[in-house]
Structure 1
């Protein structure tokens, strides 16, 4: 794939994507987690790249949301969906869903969403999802007890690049290997020429090291699993709670993870623990054994009947007098017992094996001396042998566990990705359940209804207003209102062609436009909509103009007219929603301007809803029969309007002042209010 052909992808990003093993698959699936594993890519940037790749695949120009207000509605939709996610990944992944005119993209997301709404948002699953996140690569690994060795300069350079975790040393012969083996627990020779060389220490000849990095540096695998352990465990919990088929044996996975500490070291092996404790305790154990021997010998001397008093003997000894001959002659057995006690304490306190105890017993000499002292050189040898044993054991266990976990790496990646994708599905499911959603039906002008973004040839396609194209919403409720969703009044509304929407102040005209925009945005994202039933054509663009705040100055007014000039020159199957355009200038001029815009939209067979208080004036100024719908107030109760929120077709709604005058006329018999009422 030519990555730079994706909108927004330059040379540097293309290079980062090329380092992924499955970049093309990730781009095709919108897999934000996989894309974010490319060097330097955040999940947010990965989501933008995935969105660009999707648009390119579906030949989508990305111009569906044509105005600021339309884009605001889309952002509101995303916010509602994001509020129902658990993971940060799902929040970013939802950004790959967007409204489009592409039938293939709508159908693609529709298939995903239809499966998603069947998911049960079980609280146990949501709780488990709380610990899931995208897997992160391990970094900053440094192994100091192992090195690579080679006599070849090119092989040296390649090894430095392939194994940054290890030291790479240049050696000329077996003597060089032997010297390295005294400094490192393990030496990996990269040259075939070293095969069969007999040197002391753990030296391994591996010309194929570059092909088996996990065997040479098992810490890579261990660090990755240690760093991501809790995320992996949470993903396993999600699979069990949701009843998903896991791509690996979860019990085996958990057992392998239990053998790994947070820092990537091996835990749970008794022999390794024994050696580790021995290395940590050897100095203290020797010091204690020395004290035990001297205490034993002191007690023996005090109790011994010799030629001089014991206390005088001690005084002489402590002043540095030679006592080997005296000890040999008078206290040979007692000295032997003291040394034996020291050796026994050392062996037992360090839990040494017989082969290790041989060096330990020689730390304390058989030659009589007082105070009893240990041999520093032999102690160093004991310490070195214990360390070497510990390191060899640790490396072997690391290799074994790394081999086990390495085989699980791809299944674990799949398992975590599946858990994260489940969160995306559950967000859609929760949205559909929270807002009583249904899937819309797309109807082409003059074509039959389809459930996806396209159309089929044929007659009709039942429309709420009896015409092809446009939209029809039954029992739609907007979750964007400042009232609880359950308290929102359901709205029925259907429009085909160009229509004026009239009604009282605070009657719900703007809310109706918001509902229509919301339904269309969701439908053309491929998602369910908050209504009992929706039919609509697949619009090419959504133009939504919010109410202007006050009369515009000359420059802003001119700019607004230029916007509408471009609007009426566009494609025919657009949806145009405009809220009280008359506020841009004087009412008389506004009516004429709006009438002219409606005429142009009617000529191109667009679907448009203009909210206006000037419906009568606009209709008079228009050169065609403009449809007028009305949100009717049915009366006043306790000073509040009682409104039928569903617009009435072909009905010019009465204004709020008319309703108030009518109320006053019924309460007052003077005739004054009756005369005012006749003016309406």
Structure 2
């Protein structure tokens, strides 16, 4: 798929999408989560790009919802679905669904919908989904304790691109390699020429390292899982609760994640913990060891009488001796014992093993008071412990990264499955909440809705009265004020839109003729001025002209007569209906001028009526299902009829009622 061929994808966006591993696959699958990982592409933008790719794949020209009201119906229908999602991803993913007049697209979504409505919208699954989010790919990993080394300029550039997390150094010989080994805890030499070179420090010759970045920078894998640990765990829980087939063994994955700290380090290794603690506590342990030695020496001095003969004192003074010499002569054994206590404390406090010999040199054998550390030895000890810690950590990281790298693809699939399940469950909940059924989508035109109930009304869905309505061709719908004419048009528009989205419809059954466009014109508030009136007529003129057998349309119009004077309106509506009838369009025009329109038309128009059954306690009682071929009685007629019943046959109201015949 050529990225620039996708509607809405220009050169800049195409460049961003190419940074993804497989943008064509993401576009083909409508994978909003992956598309939104491209630089500068938000989830909303990703959904629009995915829709464009889907249209391109099905050669879909778009434009099904051809008027503002038709687009409102689509957005409201989509909103009902999105309200039933748990994750933000699913809400955005649903935006890849849109009404289409292309059979292949409708069938594609119908297959998805059949799977979705078979799902059980279990509240426990919904709860588990609350912790699932698209995986984040951390781009801020930086490792400073190791480096790559090469003598080749071209390989240097390759290394920088392949493993940007570590420094890449140019070396010419073993001496320079040794210098690097003193600065880094680990050096990975990329050149085969360095094999067999004896260099002090952790220097590994790995010519294939660039092909296996995780061996050099296990932090790449570990940071990915550390950042996404809770999301992967939540996705695993979704699989358990929903009974989904997992792409990997969930217990093995859980065990690996349990070994990972939130910062990407490895937990559960006693030796690594010991070394890390030794590095952290070194200064404190050395200070305490000094105190142990000095406390012991001070007590020894305080408890002991030291006698020096005059000749001995003169001899010491003549030689320039000080307190150290006195200690060496009089308290040599006590000093040795004090230093040994300090050394033992340091070794025991830090639980030193391989570095014990260095630690014991931290306090001098030569007597001195107070006893003080030898900073160069302590620094050496710190370097050794730090190197041992880092090397141990790297080995542990590599081992864990190897395990996790093997399941990264599975973890990504695990999360993707959970997110897609949320999309399916939103459709399942929509179907269950509004008692939906899968409609029959035909190429015959018209529609037939049985037991349809609109969830767009401002009443609880369970209180909505069911409507039966079928139309083939063009009809005029009449009815009393507040009788449900507009809500019937809304129901027809909603069922038509959902059917062309490939989704279930809120009805006991429904047949919908496939159309290329839905034109729904809502009621205009007030009479239009001359310019707006002309614009409206032009719009209908273009609509009628564009209708062809290959591009059928459905036209729903609510009281078009409100745009001008009633007499002229009946003539204009009649002319529009004649043209729509000639082109075999499907249309429903709601009007209070039904009789006048039929009289003004040369076409064989039908009139359907939403019949008022009477007034009960001042309230209008209506049969919400339009009656075919019958003009609806008006509210004034019903009121006059009620008054005539009370007035008798020869009364004023009886005569007035006769005027309605």
User: Normalising to structure 1: TM-score of the pair?
Assistant: 0.93
User: What corresponds to 2:656 in structure 1?
Assistant: 676
Distance in 2, Cα, partners of 1:667 & 1:347: 112
Decide which of 568, 571, 583 is 2:548's aligned counterpart.
571
What is the Cα deviation at residue 35 of structure 1? Answer: 2.4
User: What corresponds to 2:587 in structure 1?
Assistant: 608
Distance in 1, Cα, partners of 2:21 & 2:372: 62
Number of residue-to-residue matches in the alignment: 649
Asked if the contact 1:82/1:94 (under 8 Å) is kept, the reply is yes
User: What corresponds to 2:464 in structure 1?
Assistant: 488
User: What corresponds to 1:349 in structure 2?
Assistant: 349
User: What corresponds to 1:552 in structure 2?
Assistant: 528
Distance in 2, Cα, partners of 1:441 & 1:174: 77
User: What corresponds to 1:589 in structure 2?
Assistant: 568
Distance in 2, Cα, partners of 1:490 & 1:23: 46
Tell me, yes or no, if structure 1 residue 630 matches structure 2 residue 609. Answer: yes
Asked if the contact 1:499/1:628 (under 8 Å) is kept, the reply is yes
What is the Cα deviation at residue 679 of structure 1? Answer: 2.3
Distance in 1, Cα, partners of 2:441 & 2:7: 29
User: What corresponds to 1:439 in structure 2?
Assistant: 438
Instruction: Give per-residue Cα distances to partners, 1:445-469, cap 9 Å, x unaligned.
Output: 3xxxxxxxxxxxxxxxxxxxxxxx3
What is the Cα deviation at residue 191 of structure 1? Answer: 2.0
Tell me, yes or no, if structure 1 residue 617 matches structure 2 residue 634. Answer: no
Asked if the contact 1:120/1:426 (under 8 Å) is kept, the reply is yes
Distance in 1, Cα, partners of 2:214 & 2:324: 58
Unaligned ranges ≥5, structure 2: none
Tell me, yes or no, if structure 1 residue 645 matches structure 2 residue 644. Answer: no
Matches within 5 A, 1:136-155: 136-155=136-155
What is the Cα deviation at residue 321 of structure 1? Answer: 7.3
SS at match of 1:408: helix
What is the Cα deviation at residue 139 of structure 1? Answer: 1.3
Distance in 1, Cα, partners of 2:540 & 2:523: 15
Instruction: Give per-residue Cα distances to partners, 1:247-279, cap 9 Å, x unaligned.
Output: 111111111112222221222221111111110
Instruction: Give per-residue Cα distances to partners, 1:474-511, cap 9 Å, x unaligned.
Output: 00000000000000000000011110000011100000
Distance in 1, Cα, partners of 2:413 & 2:442: 39
User: What corresponds to 2:510 in structure 1?
Assistant: 534
SS at match of 2:501: coil
What is the Cα deviation at residue 306 of structure 1? Answer: 2.2
User: Normalising to structure 2: TM-score of the pair?
Assistant: 0.96
Asked if the contact 1:629/1:648 (under 8 Å) is kept, the reply is yes
What is the Cα deviation at residue 308 of structure 1? Answer: 7.0
User: What corresponds to 1:659 in structure 2?
Assistant: 638
Unaligned ranges ≥5, structure 1: 446-468
Matches within 5 A, 1:227-246: 227-246=227-246
What is the Cα deviation at residue 57 of structure 1? Answer: 1.6
What is the Cα deviation at residue 444 of structure 1? Answer: 3.1
User: What corresponds to 2:45 in structure 1?
Assistant: 45
What is the Cα deviation at residue 187 of structure 1? Answer: 1.1
User: What corresponds to 1:462 in structure 2?
Assistant: none
Instruction: Give per-residue Cα distances to partners, 1:368-415, cap 9 Å, x unaligned.
Output: 111111111100000110000010011111111111111111111111
User: What corresponds to 2:212 in structure 1?
Assistant: 212
User: What corresponds to 1:382 in structure 2?
Assistant: 381
Instruction: Give per-residue Cα distances to partners, 1:113-146, cap 9 Å, x unaligned.
Output: 0111011111111111111111111111111111
Asked if the contact 1:547/1:580 (under 8 Å) is kept, the reply is yes
TM-align CA RMSD: 1.8
Say which is worse superposed, 648-657 or 478-487, in terms of deviation: 648-657
Tell me, yes or no, if structure 1 residue 500 matches structure 2 residue 480. Answer: no
Distance in 1, Cα, partners of 2:84 & 2:213: 42
User: What corresponds to 1:77 in structure 2?
Assistant: 77
SS at match of 2:539: helix
User: What corresponds to 2:96 in structure 1?
Assistant: 96
Asked if the contact 1:540/1:571 (under 8 Å) is kept, the reply is no
SS at match of 1:363: coil
SS at match of 1:658: helix
What is the Cα deviation at residue 188 of structure 1? Answer: 1.4
Asked if the contact 1:507/1:643 (under 8 Å) is kept, the reply is yes
Asked if the contact 1:135/1:413 (under 8 Å) is kept, the reply is yes
Say which is worse superposed, 503-512 or 208-217, in terms of deviation: 208-217
